Structure 1
Amino acid sequence: MSEEERIYAGKLFDARSQELRDIKHKAHELCRKFNSLDEYDEKRLPIIKEFIGSIGEKYYFQGPVQFNYGCHTYIGENFFANFNTVIMDDGKVFIGDNVMFGPNVSLMATTHPLLSKERTAMKYEDGHVSMSEYAGEIHIGNNVWIACNVVICGGVHIGDNSVIGAGSVVTKDIPKNHLAFGVPCRPVRPITEKDSKMNLL
């Protein structure tokens, strides 16, 4: 079983293996290239498609951006991300259509064991010892707004049409059509027509 297959199987994996380092290197270098270009440079946005798993035709990243793998992330149509998007997509990340990220949003689809002895449990015949990791997928539904400074942890599902308030740390699933916020993030109330701001037009 390859290290990438170990990730998908939910097993401990060696993020420092050459196999995974090579996959990540492509995304890291292309993110660096993206971040170095002027936001009006027509060559900038297409760089995302060179390393992403898949993405819709209409999307925008303000930048800077940082993906860990890139190829483990799948984004729908009409996506928008503000400044400083970080996606640690060791585990797979699925983002629906019409999703908006505020500044400083981090998706962390990877973690380490809590027991210190298990964080260095991966030992190999050549004597190599690695920091052990394991990863849960992140699923974000359609029409979701993730406000600024939000961290979303691995294993989380966020339902369609929900809003995650600023500064939240999302460790558990959030149902659809809800406003949720806090540390840890919790559903606060359903979003209803009473929340309409069409009067501001």
Structure 2
Amino acid sequence: MISEKDKMIAGKMYKASDMELVKERVSAHSKAQEFNRVETDQERKKIIKELFGSAGENITVEATFRLDYGYNIHVGEDFYANFNCVFLDVCPITIGKNAMLGPGVNLVTGEHPLKATERNSGYEFGRPITIGDNCWIGTNATIIGGVTLGDNVVVAAGSVVTKSFSDNVIIGGVPAKIIKVIDNDC
């Protein structure tokens, strides 16, 4: 029989009130609170390495930081997340190398059914987020589940990214759209 956790990670409908998932969220939230209290970058890095599913050696995450589980978060080398970022990782969040996130960035993989009766049942689902190498996500941007951003993408501050975009573009707005193609020959 497939567990609620396995269903969650696979993006299938799952029961968020499942005791295994509740315990894992409580544990991750406790670790995140510890992270937000410690004073040195070295202490924060140690906690993030324990929380994340995988991370490069050269990473910085500023406090405060919030997450659901942590083990579904994978970041590459030279990763930087500024203050007040939120990663709701019911499904995998995968970020390439040399990525920068501005203050208040939200990466939200969890979703709820549209029909009220289904939503009220306590079941939910998620979709993964994948962000390529050399990306810069601006202040207070939100990226929802199911989005893939290619390499060298810049997301303008305050944008809401609801669909995927290929390499070398600047996107912005609500919902985000292509503002400019980046010429990497410059």
Quickly name the TM-score band, shorter chain normalised.
over 0.9
Question: What pairs with 1:113-192 in structure 2 (closer than 5 Å)?
Answer: 113-121=113-121, 131-192=122-183
Deviation, structure 1 residue 174: 1.3
What SS class does the counterpart of residue 44 from structure 1 fall into?
A: helix
Deviation, structure 1 residue 15: 1.1
Deviation, structure 1 residue 164: 0.3
What SS class does the counterpart of residue 103 from structure 1 fall into?
A: coil
1:20-66 deviations in Å (ceiling 9; x for gaps): 0111122111110010112x363222111111100000000111001
Question: What pairs with 1:7-46 in structure 2 (closer than 5 Å)?
Answer: 7-38=8-39, 40=40, 42-46=42-46
- Equivalent residues of 2:161, 2:176 under 8 A apart: yes
Deviation, structure 1 residue 120: 2.5
| Bigger share in strand | 2
Supply the distance in 2 between the matched residues of 1:104 and 1:46 (Cα, whole angstroms). Answer: 22
Larger Rg: 1
- How high is the TM-score relative to the length of structure 2? 0.95
User: CA RMSD, aligned part only?
Assistant: 1.3
- How high is the TM-score relative to the length of structure 1? 0.88
* Partner in structure 1 of residue 107 of structure 2: 107
- Equivalent residues of 1:162, 1:179 under 8 A apart: yes
Supply the distance in 1 between the matched residues of 2:13 and 2:157 (Cα, whole angstroms). Answer: 32
**CA shift in 2, pair 1:60/1:17, >3 Å:** same
Supply the distance in 2 between the matched residues of 1:70 and 1:193 (Cα, whole angstroms). Answer: 34
Supply the distance in 1 between the matched residues of 2:41 and 2:175 (Cα, whole angstroms). Answer: 39
> Is 1:5 aligned to residue 6 of structure 2?
yes
Supply the distance in 2 between the matched residues of 1:140 and 1:94 (Cα, whole angstroms). Answer: 6
What SS class does the counterpart of residue 42 from structure 1 fall into?
A: helix
Unmatched 5+ residue regions in structure 2? none
**CA shift in 2, pair 1:185/1:192, >3 Å:** same
> Is 1:83 aligned to residue 74 of structure 2?
no
Supply the distance in 2 between the matched residues of 1:156 and 1:193 (Cα, whole angstroms). Answer: 23
1:116-149 deviations in Å (ceiling 9; x for gaps): 001133xxxxxxxxx2211000000000000000
- Equivalent residues of 1:96, 1:140 under 8 A apart: yes
Detail structure 1 runs of 4+ shifted over 6 Å in the superposition.
none
- Equivalent residues of 1:147, 1:166 under 8 A apart: yes
Supply the distance in 2 between the matched residues of 1:156 and 1:53 (Cα, whole angstroms). Answer: 19
- Equivalent residues of 1:80, 1:100 under 8 A apart: yes
**CA shift in 2, pair 1:177/1:114, >3 Å:** same
